[in-house]
Structure 1
Amino acid sequence: MALKVPGIISELQLYCIAIGALVFAASMLFAGWFHYHKAAPILAWFQYVESMLNHHLAGLLGLGSLSWAGHQVHVSLPINQFLNAGVDPKEIPLPHEFILNRDLLAQLYPSFAEGATPFFTLNWSKYAEFLTFRGGLDPVTGGLWLTDIAHHHLAIAILFLIAGHMYKTNRGIGHSLKDILEAHKCPFTG
């Protein structure tokens, strides 16, 4: 049985990650310069709480959790399946191959062959093979089940995406934070 090796296993992967991180850092540096020198926001924007709540809840937490759940389902779980089966880490397909080749994922998880049809037909039980609610610890790794973690992040993403659309912005849809706070009656202070 091959040794279970997580993470970077070749110099090519390390090189690609380093180049990708360099490009990402340069793009963030440019975005920061552009945001504060060319398209500088006015002070009133920072005082508009509802807009910041929408941005942080939906944009950062919702989409961040959704992308992490997608990474776990499309990259981490298939690689973990191969490692648990004892496949040599150098024989495992590269992570982008799982994303680009649905048939490769369908060999490990048959419901991938159906695509997004079960999602839109509300037949969500088809996804039970990779979005589980087992609880407990994985006996191989001693950690939480990766399928449970992916399910958790998907659920959190849905909650934050809904919460991000709850507060009123300049479009007039949603609740005003001022109205919510004024209508709130504390059970202890009345």
Structure 2
Amino acid sequence: MREPVRIGPHPSAQPDLQELLRGVAQGDQEAFASVYDAVVGSVLGIARSVLRDRAQSEEVAQEVLVEVWRTAANYRPERGSVRNWILTLAHRRAVDRVRSVDASAAREHRAALLERTPEYDEVTEEVEASLEREQVRRCVRTLTEVQRQAVDLAYYRGLTYREVAELLTLPLGTVKTRLRDGLIRLRDCLGVTA
């Protein structure tokens, strides 16, 4: 019987990644080059499967391999193989990139909505205020002369009831009655419910 045909490098040709990673942890650049050559294709493949964008996949692969160089001493053999450790780093980094891109797009969308939405409509506000002022003026014109004087002194000039009474040389009770009657008439004219 014939031996099965193997595709790819012979198993004995596979580098011992665990041994190489120990060298990387000690700053051995040649060991890192060997680790890089052994895993770069798989790291790029994982990143590409998650990101679906060639440029971002290449960036993530580069970031992962730089992280392997910096954190090789953090590898724990009891948790899995070197290849699985590196591919887990690649998958996590790619997922983080997707989340970051999604969050950034959402922030940009919210910012664009805020830029388009005015805080309030200045023209409408001004028109409404102008109409309200005109309605108040019209209603004030319906007051009797003595009511209009009392309301003007008390509410537009800020005098107390006592000061209004002294200025008009009227008893305080009379001023209060005129103000009360004038305010009732204004309320009715403006359509304000009590």
Relative to total residues, which structure has the larger helix share, 1 or 2? 2
Q: Max radius of gyration: which structure?
A: 2
TM-score with structure 1 length normalisation?
0.24
Quick one: higher RCO (CA 8 Å, sep 6+), 1 or 2?
1
TM-score with structure 2 length normalisation?
0.23
